[in-house]
A and B are shown apart, each in its own frame.
Chain A
Amino acid sequence: MRLRIKTVLISIIILLLLTILPIVLQGRLTEDIYTYLSKSAGIDLRIVLNDFEILGVVIASTILIGSLFEKTTAIGFALSAVTKIIWIIVAAFVLSLGDLQHIGIAAIGSSGGTPSITVMIDLRLFILLIGIILVMMILYSYLEYREAIVKKPISNVDAHEEKSVT
């Protein structure tokens, strides 16, 4: 088990961007801004920021824990797969503007006023593509993991054969 500096730095950056920054923002933003965004764009910024904070902690800790194990071990592979699944959730969250009920559809709209205008951007295709990419990455990690498992007994057999020859 060893902690790589690069991984620690990545975790810190993720934590800073997704968790610390939203916490600081929440402390600085005034009530007027929340009300304005809610009325003009239909976005509850408080919920979005809270969700980002949680995601930041989850992603940073998964990357950090994942770095403790080699990718070729069962735990390492499992953690790598979990991290990729979390990234799918993050992509869906960002492309849906925080509304996971309508995955892939970013809706921005005013409420209450007349006329009310709602703009919906359909980005479901990209969530699907990101999902496929991450599944392919998981598959790649699995192949690496399986290769490592298969290699171990072979190398043992080779060593045994070499001994018997000599």
Chain B
Amino acid sequence: MERKKALRIATIALIIATLAMFSISIYNIIAFVSGAVYPGPSLGLKQIPSGDYLLSLSLNSTNRGFLDVDLSTKMIVFDTNGVLVGTNSTSIHIPAGQSGSAYVSLIVPSALASGGNPQNMKGSMQMELELRVLWKLVGVKEVVRSGSGTQ
């Protein structure tokens, strides 16, 4: 009888905890995304002394939620034949209520970076932005693929 009662209480407690965790996680993700919209991720392409280009992705964000957020960004570049040119990633931890910035860069051969404009780059590019909350157990990942010969 006692075991049954304990099991019933534990089940109800777990249901409440699950609902609370779900609501808090979703709220925190939405709060973080709304804080990341302005000014939003910026993509840059600069020529370096070797003649190649440095492709960079930077993101400044404020964590408006009440849970810590782990933010990771990844950049992958392929040439016109779909062969991997390079990949780089970074990840940061932003405590609740604080701001943080993520920066990731990649050297791109000059043959692919025409005119120094990331929009006109030859080949294809993949950008990944992932944010995780609740000890990295819940998260959202956005994958943006652009260019010809998209992988």
Chain A residues near B (Cβ < 8 Å): 109, 114-123, 125-126, 129-130, 132-133, 136-137, 139-140, 143-144, 147
> CB distance A136 to B11 under 8 Å?
yes
> CB distance A121 to B140 under 8 Å?
yes
Across the A-B interface, the 4 shortest Cβ-Cβ residue pairs: A115-B146, A129-B18, A125-B137, A136-B11
> CB distance A114 to B146 under 8 Å?
yes
Report which of B18, B140, B142 forms a contact with A133, defined as CB distance below 8 A.
Answer: B18
> CB distance A125 to B145 under 8 Å?
no
> CB distance A140 to B4 under 8 Å?
yes
Interface centre among A115, A130, A143 (most CB of B within 10 A): A115
The interface size bin for chain B is 20 to 34
Q: How distant is A61 from chain B, measured CB to nearest CB, in Å?
A: 25
Knowing A114-B147, A116-B150, A126-B22, the reply to whether A132 touches B140 (Cβ < 8 A) is no
Interface of A is mostly: helix
B140 proximity list for chain A (CB < 8 A): 119-122
> CB distance A115 to B4 under 8 Å?
no
> CB distance A117 to B138 under 8 Å?
no
18 A-B pairs within 8 Å (CB atoms) are namely A109-B143, A115-B144, A116-B144, A116-B150, A117-B142, A118-B145, A119-B142, A119-B143, A120-B143, A121-B140, A122-B132, A122-B139, A126-B138, A129-B18, A136-B10, A137-B11, A140-B8, A144-B4
B137 proximity list for chain A (CB < 8 A): 125
Q: Please name the residue on chain B nearest to A140 by beta carbon.
A: B7
Q: Please name the residue on chain A nearest to B129 by beta carbon.
A: A119
Chain B residues near A (Cβ < 8 Å): 1, 3-4, 7-8, 10-11, 14-15, 17-18, 21-22, 132, 134, 137-147, 150
Q: How distant is B65 from chain A, measured CB to nearest CB, in Å?
A: 16
> CB distance B145 to A116 under 8 Å?
yes
- CA distance in complex: A122, B21 (Å): 14
> CB distance B141 to A129 under 8 Å?
no
> CB distance A125 to B14 under 8 Å?
no
- CA distance in complex: A130, B150 (Å): 38
> CB distance B142 to A136 under 8 Å?
no
> CB distance B145 to A139 under 8 Å?
no
Q: How distant is A134 from chain B, measured CB to nearest CB, in Å?
A: 9
> CB distance B141 to A136 under 8 Å?
no
B11 proximity list for chain A (CB < 8 A): 133, 136-137, 140
Q: How distant is A35 from chain B, measured CB to nearest CB, in Å?
A: 21
> CB distance B145 to A143 under 8 Å?
no
B134 proximity list for chain A (CB < 8 A): 125
B10 proximity list for chain A (CB < 8 A): 136
Knowing A117-B142, A120-B141, A122-B141, the reply to whether A139 touches B14 (Cβ < 8 A) is no
Q: How distant is A2 from chain B, measured CB to nearest CB, in Å?
A: 25
> CB distance B18 to A126 under 8 Å?
yes
A139 proximity list for chain B (CB < 8 A): 7
